[in-house]
Amino acid sequence: MSLSDPIGDMLTRIRNAGRAKHESCVIPGSKIKRSILELLKEEGFINGYEPVTNGSFEDFKVALKYDLTKKPVIRELVRVSKPGRRVYMKSEEIRPYKNNMGTMILSTSKGIMTGKKARKLRVGGEVICKLS
């Protein structure tokens, strides 16, 4: 099965698993997905992830995070730049998302990073997603 937007598929799997109150979900692996999952872990949106071997491919088992009332920590997860419409931002255009309560993930020339870090390093890039 070929997908035109594998990152969008990953975000949808995480969003759907959170809404269904699953403990974890399995995502097909790639280097960019590993970077995004690492950022989600550092920012506290997921408990963690671990590589799982699926034949000759590598998948990721993502452990989702919930608050004390059993609601998912990821309240909103929006794919911004899509294959049909790429969205880029200069470093000066990057603003705090949801009054610094949310996170913007960008793909820059220096790697995948949060909007806050990209602004600090003064690099722009493609906006992958926004989450809060």
State yes or no: pLDDT of 22 exceeds 80: yes
pTM: 0.92
Biggest CA–CA distance in the chain, Å, is 45
Q: Is 59 within 8 Å of 52 (Cβ atoms)?
A: yes
Domain final position from 51, 73, 95: 73
**Residue 11, Cβ neighbours under 10 Å: how many?**
23
Q: CATH number for the domain including 37?
A: 3.30.1370.30
pLDDT digits (tens, 9 = 90+) for 46-79: 999 999 998 899 999 999 999 999 999 999 999 9
83 phi and psi angles, rounded to 5 deg: -60, -30
Considering the domain architecture, whether residues 53 and 86 belong to the same structural domain is answered as no
- Structure tokens, 72: 């998912």
User: Could you tell me the residue range of the domain that residue 60 belongs to?
Assistant: 1-73
Considering the domain architecture, whether residues 127 and 82 belong to the same structural domain is answered as yes
